[in-house]
Amino acid sequence: MKNILAPALAALALSASMFQLVQAQETPDVPEDYSYLTRLHVPDAVAQCVAAFDRWVENAPKYDTLIVPDRRVLSAKIDDDTTIFSVGNPIPVDQVIVMRAFAKARGKEQWTRVDSRCGVRAGHVVGVSLTPNMKPKIVR
């Protein structure tokens, strides 16, 4: 009986580990709230970044609301050559996605233009940052 049970247990363990390996290699789905971006033919990494920004802003100490207009999402720059997210946050990444957005500071009424950066590694968002982008003043 032991001779029959050992191969069956080994086969079961092997199939379970293969299932976990396949699950780990699947690309994550875009959250349902952002599925309209796939119909606009936005790359999955960009849609995942927009969703990550929304989740991040909920807990951010500086900003309480973020808007990324569709035209900015459609024109997002995807940098495949960068290997780290940023100098201040040296997380290894496969892609850095940059797009313009608008954020509202917590407790204030005014919106600020921001440059949003998102780092993606193996199909997962690993870092986000927002940097104020002030319009240059014209000196006459």
Note the pLDDT tens digit of each residue in 50-74.
999 989 988 888 998 999 998 999 9
Let me know: does 84 contact 90? Beta carbons within 8 Å.
Answer: yes
pLDDT band at 75 (very low <50, low <70, confident <90, very high): very high
User: Is residue 132 pLDDT above 50, yes or no?
Assistant: yes
pTM of the entire predicted model: 0.69
CA distances from residue 64 to 30, 57, 87, 128, 135 in whole angstroms, order as listed: 23, 6, 26, 15, 21
